[in-house]
Structure 1
């Protein structure tokens, strides 16, 4: 089993709101915790772990897990975040540790 990392930076004016909602929802299944002090959290999903961090105007996601299951983990985290942020038309684009594109969730906002 080969481990790898995938990251996504999701532009949003409300990173704390969506980060907390994502961690609280997905964390109920296998574990997770949100820190109001650091505006960050983590989620355990199967053989993967996602770090969620708020930045200025963005939510940063870092997913560590089994390379063979990475697309599925990206999809679960990304779909939930896009659903929570449907009003803001969030888009999640994952990039693997080797620089190759991962999966994408959400529709690109219209100009």
Structure 2
């Protein structure tokens, strides 16, 4: 299983995490446990977590193509929602 993570710094992590999960919830079923939300995306796993000053994104997938798909879904939406704050999603293999 391949994994990657992005810690996206923001003063309002709760807002962006909630917005991302709500928006993607139209197509995905999310499981929420406190500050952590998890969803299955075609055999892969997406995780959105609220940290002290960041939204933490995690992607777990069986292959590189699936990992890229999860990264794209999470990252592109969060960057679009955070344009005014110039949020940048940078993935690190993990």
After superposition, where does 1:17-28 map in structure 2 within 5 Å? 17-28=15-26
Check if 1:85 corresponds to 2:75.
Answer: no
CA RMSD of aligned residues (A): 1.5
TM-score, structure 1 normalization: 0.75
Deviation at 1:22, TM superposition (A): 0.8
Q: State how far apart, in whole Å, the 1-side matches of 2:90 and 2:79 are.
A: 11
Give the gaps of 5 or more residues in structure 2. none
After superposition, where does 1:28-67 map in structure 2 within 5 Å? 28-34=26-32, 38-67=34-63
CA-to-aligned-CA distance 1:12-48 (integer Å, 9 cap, x gap): 011001101111111221311445xx22212222222
Q: State how far apart, in whole Å, the 1-side matches of 2:69 and 2:7 are.
A: 18
Q: Which has the larger strand fraction? A: 1
Q: Report if the CA contact (8 A) 1:18-1:84 is conserved.
A: yes
TM-score, structure 2 normalization: 0.87
Give the gaps of 5 or more residues in structure 1. 98-111
Name the larger-Rg structure. 1
Runs (4+) of structure 1 moved beyond 4 Å?
none
Q: State how far apart, in whole Å, the 1-side matches of 2:53 and 2:81 are.
A: 17
**Larger relative contact order (Cα-Cα within 8 Å, sequence gap ≥ 6):** 2
